[in-house]
Amino acid sequence: MVPMADTTLTPERILEAAEEVLRRFGPGKATVVDVARVLGVSHGSVYRHFASKTALREAVADRWLDRVHADLPAVTAGTAPAAERLRSWLHTLHGTKRATALDDPELFATYVALVAEASTVIAASLDGLVAQLARIIADGVESGEFAVDDVPRSARAVFYATVRFHDPTHSAQWADPDIEQQLDAVCDLLLDGLRPR
Amino acid sequence: MVPMADTTLTPERILEAAEEVLRRFGPGKATVVDVARVLGVSHGSVYRHFASKTALREAVADRWLDRVHADLPAVTAGTAPAAERLRSWLHTLHGTKRATALDDPELFATYVALVAEASTVIAASLDGLVAQLARIIADGVESGEFAVDDVPRSARAVFYATVRFHDPTHSAQWADPDIEQQLDAVCDLLLDGLRPR
DNA sequence: GGGCTGACAGATTTTGCAATCTGTCAGCCG
DNA sequence: CGGCTGACAGATTGCAAAATCTGTCAGCCC
């Protein structure tokens, strides 16, 4: 068991090792001993940087969510009409998740399990997403494209109405070749609902 | 092991016994030997009426779905304006499910597990529900309340957009005291989307 | 001295065997 | 006869011992 410590031990390096172990063994069999072995250190050292196995897993979940949602802020901050941006935002969110899910279903399931454990992380992340929706809708109201009484309420409604297309519990349906048309149909309905009459 | 066969053995009686066993032991521990014991017959007899344990469980799932959806056709066939009927239909579906889920979460979980196994049954049931939505929307189009190009497409969109409120995978959220307001917010958006402009 | 190790207690998970269950069918019984 | 029984083979599940894992900490080593 010769160590291969070519760098100092950092949270960053531990997270990378943890991801590798999760990729290889899945969430059920990944242990912190495995993580330590990949790093060539004793498992006690890992506990110097993460208070518990749970904390480590939460950090991995957080990291993954950041990566999966990385493309969205650019859409939110775009210059296109609000309706277009809203549709594009929803398709981006759906598209990234679907691609991840279909590309490597097992790895996707691993990350989903991780995120499901980390209820704090997930709540914060969802609030951030709804805030982006609210910003797009607010822009639309300002430009006269949309007319809504209560922007946050509508943002939440849009988020909830598209649960089928971004919530991992529905990922089995994302293999349906018709799924994008379904999302479009829901978008049509929602956008018509947001427009002034 | 004295028999208590007070009637002839019918599929009906077997289904009732199966439900009792499922209620008491849950989906993981209910066996067809248990069912036979409740009926005071040998387990071989059960196989005279149901081809397999799976078939028996499917029949139970089917029965349960029928019961849970029993109130909907009356709403569909009602005389109120289509918009009202649509909202009421969605609230009825959500309300029945939520009541069942909150009243006895364990029994609810049992039935959900059963239905999840029975993919054929579930697909047929969902098609029936979407058909009811389509009928309400078609009525609305005829009366001028709604304006949509493609009624079946919109019906599916409405169904998908309200997944959060009727799909059992989301039942954990139904305890939220705000859940009905959330459904109302989504309904507002959808109904505005269906109306002519 | 500060990061790291490795042994340890208690909790959790694997393992392999025993018990139970599913589905079948030859024959019994009314 | 026609529905029912009970024994049976193969598959599945439960259980208890053995192995592994988590989290801690006294002490080592650079």
Dump pLDDT digits (tens) for B3-20.
333 568 899 999 999 999
Percentage of chain A beyond pLDDT 90 is: 93
What is the domain range of residue A134? 64-194
Residue indicated by tokens 């009686």: B13
* CB A38 under 7 Å to nucleic chain C: no
Give A119's pLDDT tier (boundaries 50, 70, 90). Answer: confident
Residue with CA nearest C1' of nucleotide C13: A29
Nearest to B156 among A161, A182, A195 (CB): A182
Same domain membership, residue A156 and residue A94? yes
Are B185 and A156 in contact, with CB atoms under 8 Å apart?
yes
pLDDT digits (tens, 9 = 90+) for A70-117: 999 999 999 999 999 999 999 999 999 999 999 999 999 999 999 999
Rounded to a whole number of angstroms, the distance from the CA of B191 to the nearest CA of chain A is: 7
Q: How far is it, in rounded angstroms, from Cα B70 to Cα B72?
A: 6
Same domain membership, residue B99 and residue B41? no
Instruction: Give B118: exposed, middle or buried? Use CB within 10 Å, 0-12, 13-18, 19+.
Output: buried
- Residue A5 located in a structural domain: no
DSSP per position, A152-186: HHHHHHHHHHTHHHH-GGGGGGGGSTTHHHHHHHH
Same domain membership, residue A189 and residue A94? yes
Nearest to A192 among B158, B188, B192 (CB): B192
- For residue B156, give every residue at least 6 positions away whose Cβ sits within 8 Å of its Cβ, in sequence order, or none: A182, A185, B130
Rounded to a whole number of angstroms, the distance from the CA of A92 to the nearest CA of chain B is: 18
- Residue B33 belongs to a domain with what CATH number? 1.10.10.60
- Residue A151 located in a structural domain: yes
Same domain membership, residue B21 and residue B118? no
A42 CA vs D23 C1’ separation (Å): 13
Pairwise CB contact (< 8 Å): B182 & A158: no
At residue A6, the pLDDT reads 53
- Residue B6 located in a structural domain: no
Same domain membership, residue B37 and residue B123? no
pLDDT digits (tens, 9 = 90+) for B86-104: 999 999 999 999 999 999 9
Nearest to B61 by CA among B124, B129, B127: B124
**Residue A23 contacts B, CB cutoff 8 Å:** no
3-state secondary structure of A193: helix
B114 CA vs D9 C1’ separation (Å): 28
Give A40's pLDDT tier (boundaries 50, 70, 90). Answer: very high
**Residue A192 contacts B, CB cutoff 8 Å:** yes
